[in-house]
Amino acid sequence: MRGPPQVAELKERLAKRDETVAELTAFKSLAVSRLAAQHDEIQRLREELTAAGNIRRLQTDDAAARLRQAPVHPWNFRKI
């Protein structure tokens, strides 16, 4: 049978656990909120870029492969 010191210790451990759970729940809530805000900002920026029509196309893998295969010297730049 557990005596009073053990009961007090268990109550203390439960209180610490409850505090930790509350802190982690608050952290999770803040993290999810920040992720949602970042997602909204990314969506807004994408829509803004699309509306502005100033999107540039990046090099494809084929163009990058040709650049890696062709020796490029400082005095002989090639446009692809």
Give per-residue pLDDT as tens, 65-76: 776 666 655 555
Q: Residue 50 domain-assigned?
A: yes
Q: Residue 74 domain-assigned?
A: no
Give per-residue pLDDT as tens, 54-66: 666 666 777 667 7
Q: Residue 77 domain-assigned?
A: no
Q: What are the DSSP calls for 4-49, one per residue?
A: HHHHHHHHHHHHHHHHHHHHHHHHHHHHHHHHHHHHHHHHHHHHHH
Q: Residue 75 domain-assigned?
A: no
Q: What is the pLDDT of residue 79?
A: 52
Q: Residue 76 domain-assigned?
A: no
pLDDT band per the 50, 70, 90 thresholds, residue 24: very high
Q: Which two tokens stand for residue 53?
A: 């029509």
Number of domains comprising the chain: 1
Give per-residue pLDDT as tens, 40-50: 999 999 898 88
Q: Tell me the C-alpha distance between 19 and 11, whole Å.
A: 12
Helix (H, G, I), strand (E, B) or coil at 32: helix
Q: Residue 56 domain-assigned?
A: yes
Q: Residue 10 domain-assigned?
A: yes
Range of the domain at 51: 4-69
pTM of this prediction? 0.53
Q: What is the pLDDT of residue 13?
A: 97
